[in-house]
Structure 1
């Protein structure tokens, strides 16, 4: 029998085993104590990682979702308490911080555990403090006394450092933490764990890498085709299931015959049928990923309308009681505004959506009910996969394509693995199941490629921002700031890639030298001769391109002068011949076409290329007053007029080719006079010379890329400092009073906010107006250019205009230095935030949003909380200025925070 400590009962162990166990207890006594109290036996990778920690080293743990990485973080907590030291447990999002806080309070008592999430402070000086990463970064910059006695920092979900908006925070913390602190980095499976580990060693000292690719619950891969569930792979796991390929082919044929089975341009999926099939196969509970908020909500409605009920009476009562109690603090009018009754109907039937558009309290209820096993299917966007503890027996993927913010792209193998990693509940399920729903744009081999590939690299997104720069310079000067940037994982990867590129360049250079040797010619330098022939060809192509461009311009110019009834010659294409011009058509200067009728009665629109170098009007015919080119008789009558008008006319002379330029003439003469031209082996030499030239260009390209990567962050840091100096936040290497203000602003538009505060353009605004203007510098609209913005009367209109002028000035300064850090203010949330801050009910605020329909409640709450966070920063920063007007602004900012944090926006 095996105990939780990992030791075996004495009567079952050999003397050697007893000796080994005793040695382990002596060498790692804290791990032995920790493991004895743990509810299950620790896995090998957990034991290895914990031993590394107790030996006094940092550790990077990479393991699949659900494998139990957090055990290592919890052991760091245990060590801190045993050593009378501190441990900070950091998470990327507030929801995870709250979840971990509750877990640790249950384990160690409320007196030993604190929580810091920016706007929430609970027992902040406790030996164990859970916090978001931004809070720890800010504490480091401020030199907070709370850092005293800190021995361990757990960085949960450390792979977030790839996040392009927030990833830099992780690297700043890792680099800037005191040397005495041991960092426990917990990551999802990444293929470059060793590279990341090497970087951690370079900046943190002794750090060990522990990797586990073993899932605690085996995962089976399937596809569902026409309601039939089929294994993705053959039993040996190496090849795609032949039966699945046959089913796929037949389904594809049926789809083509029926027009693709599409609805609104996308494959149609009967979600109720999918859920029923999973239920009959005992594969529930399931997380069903749909990469669309509207799709998730629609899926719940579809299942409810189809009459599906996955809960019994007792479950329904428990669900309704829990959801009602969790939302009891919210104004009934606000609940009505966000569709509480509709949401509750879905919950009662065993279904729910989970996405960023839901109220946070709704999401928390869904997570808790799913964890309790009361909900059977959650339709979710991919944000659910980011650390929330919601394992399921099965995971369903409806599509393999998602919107990444700019385009619709295929899932990466890493994303596929993270999504399907939710399948299989440890201690409950013998196996987990990943199901991809068949559609005519999803092929089994594509799914197999995602499921079998093991390349999930972790790439840094670190880059210097304005706030980061002034904080680094203020803390230790420019030289130290440059050291931090040079120490980043981003520069580590860039330098590594530069080395690889240089190695590739050297290898290609050797091959180029071989080709150069093979191209040796007795008559002269064949490589020089070949380069001249290539320059000649390039010059001729350039001249031809310019000629075509000038002909196009000539054609456009002459065509724009035509009037209806002009007779012209179509010089190119299958409609070549005489034609009557009718009118210009198209949507703009670069999309014009010319409607004509030809002498055989054809009518249509042609672009300018049909008229070669231009047109010459040879005569005119009369267009009938009410000419209709769709009328056959009208066309035929006009064609007859055209034939009569051109009966004795000859075709216009086509314009000649481009004149030979002096450069082309010189190169032709140089080629003609070169002795290598007459070499009998010229053909063979050309083959080798062509390869030499191609390799030479590749080498130059690789060297250029390598040069761009070396010291790339240092160059960007120089540009950032120049902008800061231009606007007065730095004087040489000294942070000015304005720079002190900027140090307190932590958002993506940090410099713009600082400019507006420093220049006093937001002073005099009352709390609701200040909340509105603050929203403009953080909000990102889901629609084009705030098309639906409603102007707010009063002084805020002037403040918006003044804010825009300062953004323009920053944009010009950035453009001149190749930067693009500060995004343009967006106005779409201003009116809703203004109304909410004035105390109006939620439905009115949502209806005032920037789209053709009300803003989802969850979106509003998220942006409202971010606005409140910024207002709090603004209030703190305004105190730095210390004038009467700025102190009044600080008061209004803090009042605005209180006005926003009410009802559904308040943290409960």
Structure 2
């Protein structure tokens, strides 16, 4: 008797036999029935830990069989992968929106991939049309087999981790009725014509890169606005899945609220400033900024901000009176109690450990319980930073995270790591250990909190005069409120200053900074200013400074691409407040140039802070190992060997953005040799799956 599967489908054992080719792979034979004819085909997948089984599903009167691979239902891969879906069109289509791409089924390449890929691509259909320029090896890496099997079943994923060719095929198939359900992130709701009758929202929270926030009314409207096809459906359906952390009242309020008003994120940038200087008189430039949508919002919000400021000041004064104790300083007493609580629970240690880990650099020697360990690289996965280190006592590579330290790790020395970087090589590890043995390490420093510190804080707390106040707890609650309202008041005052200050005044401060750095002379551009005017990238001024300083000169093609990527790439997650090293440096020259660019960035940020301007984000070398390998001619399989770090879609998008910057540098670099290398680096990266991706993805 077949077993019931978790989703209610009937499971039964699949027929499996060894491949006659002797390659050790399993072959599972299944069948598909359509209304017109029955076709039988084979699906060959690499043997995995999951058992391949078959399930019978009923779609009206027409039964279809699916192969269960890794817990997901996939029909057999046939020679008619795209055409067979056309024969099973249904009347409705559904889009399922997940907050993150990891929620999408089969979002990453599987260990179960069909071998004969070319045989699975017909002469027509969306999948064939969009993937025909990709090689078999690239398709294998990108998980073509599970993806095309899902398309045949009428189910597909759509998220930024997919390469553009696959996303475009899914969009075309969904619009044409070949795919009935799409699991997608919120990007599907923006700029793509893929209407559906029903939209299912899995979660009402999304990860912003730092925390999980509830969807805004505008985001909710964008997602649910997909439900109901104009001219086809009279009504659309939006379904929100139950979640224990979101109440029904929150969902109802979100659905009932109107979308938030449009907010302008416009502000004068360095590139904009030099182009205004190039094209307009000072008076006309200021007039254009003051007529902008952003200036309109700034003027209208001043009245609202002033009202909020008055209400916050009134609340602050009231709680200051409540927090005043005749016995002593209630605020000081509260700070002592907070310090004691943190010491007891170890929270301050945990935060200190996280900060200390972010400051450690490859080559640093740490004091660990077993003795000493040399840091080889940083390993950041799922927003958690870990150190890849070589343990001197155990003589093998270990990964150390915040949970491995009861106090901030102490750096007791530093050694220069051998090149090239090969931590898996026994010879490399022996060389590192030899250098470590010759190091005379300094003694580790003591941790911030120890038992003596806890006892001292307890004694101060007991002796404090406020400890005798009978209304002590009420004073403390009011003291907490004072801190909260002081922070709110400071935030509102900053906003008020920004709104009271016109965009024209902000432009003047940008121009002043550019004049001090010799990009502008009076109201005309210098040669450096002309170069900056043609750099369209978020870190425009930092790129210009690097080019002027010669930090991009004398590099080989792979190293040039790697260094350029630190201007366009930006990791999500941990914010260390500085430049976070990659998992490993691809070459010493890349590490040296990026560190030099980091020094330029620190100087630039200091100037921006003095001018009260938004600071430039730091360069991020996290993409350097991948694009260095790609520019060196490595295949996609070698570049994306560890898919937990980077998906195919992420790789293509970041590479295209780097290529765009390389073309810009080639056009503006004053050194002809540097311009030639930049152009060669762009050409070296424009191949394979990257070249097939078309235009730069935003």
Do residues 799 (structure 1) and 619 (structure 2) align? Answer: no
Counterpart-to-counterpart distance in 2, 1:300 and 1:738: 44
Deviations 1:83-141 (A, max 9, x none): xxxxxxxxxxxxxxxxxxxxxxxxxxxxxxxxxxxxxxxxxxxxxxxxxxxxxxxxxxx
How far is the alpha carbon of 1:472 from its aligned partner?
A: 0.9
Q: Is the 8 A contact 2:196 2:227 kept in 1?
A: yes
For the structure 1 residues 895 and 716, does the alpha-carbon distance in structure 2 shift closer, same or farther, using more than 3 Å as the test? same
Counterpart-to-counterpart distance in 1, 2:507 and 2:406: 47
Counterpart-to-counterpart distance in 2, 1:750 and 1:443: 45
How far is the alpha carbon of 1:729 from its aligned partner?
A: 1.0
Deviations 1:772-810 (A, max 9, x none): 111011101235465543212253333222212211111
Question: Counterparts of 1:205-284 in structure 2 under 5 Å?
Answer: 284=92
How far is the alpha carbon of 1:844 from its aligned partner?
A: 1.5
For the structure 1 residues 733 and 441, does the alpha-carbon distance in structure 2 shift closer, same or farther, using more than 3 Å as the test? same
Q: From 862, 885, 896, give the equivalent of 2:653.
A: 862
Question: Counterparts of 1:826-841 in structure 2 under 5 Å?
Answer: 826-841=620-635
Matched position secondary structure for 1:429: coil
Counterpart-to-counterpart distance in 2, 1:544 and 1:398: 47
How far is the alpha carbon of 1:287 from its aligned partner?
A: 0.6
Matched position secondary structure for 1:891: helix
Q: Is the 8 A contact 1:401 1:408 kept in 2?
A: yes
Name the stretch that deviates more: 290-299 or 888-897.
Answer: 290-299
Do residues 904 (structure 1) and 662 (structure 2) align? Answer: no
Counterpart-to-counterpart distance in 2, 1:289 and 1:395: 7
Q: Is the 8 A contact 1:356 1:859 kept in 2?
A: yes
Do residues 405 (structure 1) and 209 (structure 2) align? Answer: yes
Q: From 726, 739, 745, give the equivalent of 2:535.
A: 745
Counterpart-to-counterpart distance in 2, 1:469 and 1:551: 51
Matched position secondary structure for 1:479: helix
Question: Counterparts of 1:507-656 in structure 2 under 5 Å?
Answer: 543-546=329-332, 587=407, 592=449, 594=451, 607-608=454-455, 611-613=458-460, 655=463
Question: Counterparts of 1:350-429 in structure 2 under 5 Å?
Answer: 350-429=154-233
For the structure 1 residues 831 and 539, does the alpha-carbon distance in structure 2 shift closer, same or farther, using more than 3 Å as the test? same
Q: Is the 8 A contact 2:209 2:572 kept in 1?
A: no
Do residues 888 (structure 1) and 673 (structure 2) align? Answer: yes
Q: From 126, 134, 145, give the equivalent of 1:341.
A: 145
Matched position secondary structure for 1:725: helix
How far is the alpha carbon of 1:460 from its aligned partner?
A: 0.4
For the structure 1 residues 317 and 769, does the alpha-carbon distance in structure 2 shift closer, same or farther, using more than 3 Å as the test? closer
For the structure 1 residues 537 and 733, does the alpha-carbon distance in structure 2 shift closer, same or farther, using more than 3 Å as the test? same
For the structure 1 residues 538 and 729, does the alpha-carbon distance in structure 2 shift closer, same or farther, using more than 3 Å as the test? farther
Correspondence for 2:94: 286
Q: Is the 8 A contact 1:358 1:857 kept in 2?
A: yes
Q: From 694, 703, 710, give the equivalent of 2:500.
A: 710
Q: Is the 8 A contact 1:283 1:394 kept in 2?
A: no
Correspondence for 1:57: none
How far is the alpha carbon of 1:457 from its aligned partner?
A: 0.9
Which ranges in structure 1 are unaligned for 5 or more consecutive residues? 1-225, 228-269, 273-281, 306-315, 513-530, 558-584, 596-605, 615-653, 659-697
Q: Is the 8 A contact 2:339 2:457 kept in 1?
A: no
Q: Is the 8 A contact 2:109 2:142 kept in 1?
A: no
RMSD across aligned positions (CA): 4.2
How far is the alpha carbon of 1:739 from its aligned partner?
A: 0.7
How far is the alpha carbon of 1:732 from its aligned partner?
A: 3.1
Q: Is the 8 A contact 2:340 2:458 kept in 1?
A: no
For the structure 1 residues 828 and 593, does the alpha-carbon distance in structure 2 shift closer, same or farther, using more than 3 Å as the test? same
Q: Is the 8 A contact 2:561 2:628 kept in 1?
A: yes
Correspondence for 1:161: none
Normalising by structure 2, report the TM-score: 0.61
Matched position secondary structure for 1:829: helix
Correspondence for 2:509: 719
Deviations 1:544-574 (A, max 9, x none): 44477689999999xxxxxxxxxxxxxxxxx
How far is the alpha carbon of 1:406 from its aligned partner?
A: 2.7
Q: Is the 8 A contact 1:323 1:365 kept in 2?
A: yes
How far is the alpha carbon of 1:324 from its aligned partner?
A: 3.0
Name the stretch that deviates more: 722-731 or 543-552.
Answer: 543-552
Q: Is the 8 A contact 1:358 1:859 kept in 2?
A: yes
Question: Counterparts of 1:295-306 in structure 2 under 5 Å?
Answer: 295-298=103-106
Matched position secondary structure for 1:396: strand
Correspondence for 1:45: none
For the structure 1 residues 271 and 499, does the alpha-carbon distance in structure 2 shift closer, same or farther, using more than 3 Å as the test? farther
For the structure 1 residues 320 and 789, does the alpha-carbon distance in structure 2 shift closer, same or farther, using more than 3 Å as the test? farther
Correspondence for 2:267: 463
Which ranges in structure 2 are unaligned for 5 or more consecutive residues? 1-6, 9-70, 74-89, 114-119, 344-404, 409-445, 467-487
For the structure 1 residues 318 and 551, does the alpha-carbon distance in structure 2 shift closer, same or farther, using more than 3 Å as the test? closer
How far is the alpha carbon of 1:330 from its aligned partner?
A: 1.0
Counterpart-to-counterpart distance in 2, 1:607 and 1:802: 43
Correspondence for 2:612: 818
Counterpart-to-counterpart distance in 2, 1:799 and 1:414: 43
Q: Is the 8 A contact 1:284 1:393 kept in 2?
A: yes
Counterpart-to-counterpart distance in 2, 1:537 and 1:384: 51
Matched position secondary structure for 1:716: helix
Counterpart-to-counterpart distance in 1, 2:325 and 2:666: 63
Matched position secondary structure for 2:183: strand
Q: Is the 8 A contact 2:295 2:503 kept in 1?
A: yes
Q: Is the 8 A contact 1:791 1:797 kept in 2?
A: yes
How far is the alpha carbon of 1:364 from its aligned partner?
A: 0.6
Correspondence for 1:853: 644
Q: Is the 8 A contact 1:846 1:855 kept in 2?
A: yes
Correspondence for 1:684: none
Q: From 559, 562, 569, give the equivalent of 1:779.
A: 569
Do residues 762 (structure 1) and 609 (structure 2) align? Answer: no
Matched position secondary structure for 1:335: helix
Counterpart-to-counterpart distance in 2, 1:655 and 1:357: 59
Counterpart-to-counterpart distance in 2, 1:724 and 1:825: 20
Q: Is the 8 A contact 2:108 2:647 kept in 1?
A: no
For the structure 1 residues 748 and 608, does the alpha-carbon distance in structure 2 shift closer, same or farther, using more than 3 Å as the test? farther
How far is the alpha carbon of 1:489 from its aligned partner?
A: 1.2
Counterpart-to-counterpart distance in 2, 1:289 and 1:533: 44
How far is the alpha carbon of 1:718 from its aligned partner?
A: 3.2
Q: Is the 8 A contact 1:466 1:720 kept in 2?
A: yes
Deviations 1:510-538 (A, max 9, x none): xx9xxxxxxxxxxxxxxxxxx99988985
How far is the alpha carbon of 1:862 from its aligned partner?
A: 0.5
Matched position secondary structure for 1:457: coil
For the structure 1 residues 541 and 498, does the alpha-carbon distance in structure 2 shift closer, same or farther, using more than 3 Å as the test? farther
Matched position secondary structure for 2:622: coil
For the structure 1 residues 494 and 811, does the alpha-carbon distance in structure 2 shift closer, same or farther, using more than 3 Å as the test? same
Matched position secondary structure for 1:297: coil
Report the count of equivalent residues: 481
For the structure 1 residues 806 and 299, does the alpha-carbon distance in structure 2 shift closer, same or farther, using more than 3 Å as the test? closer
How far is the alpha carbon of 1:756 from its aligned partner?
A: 1.0
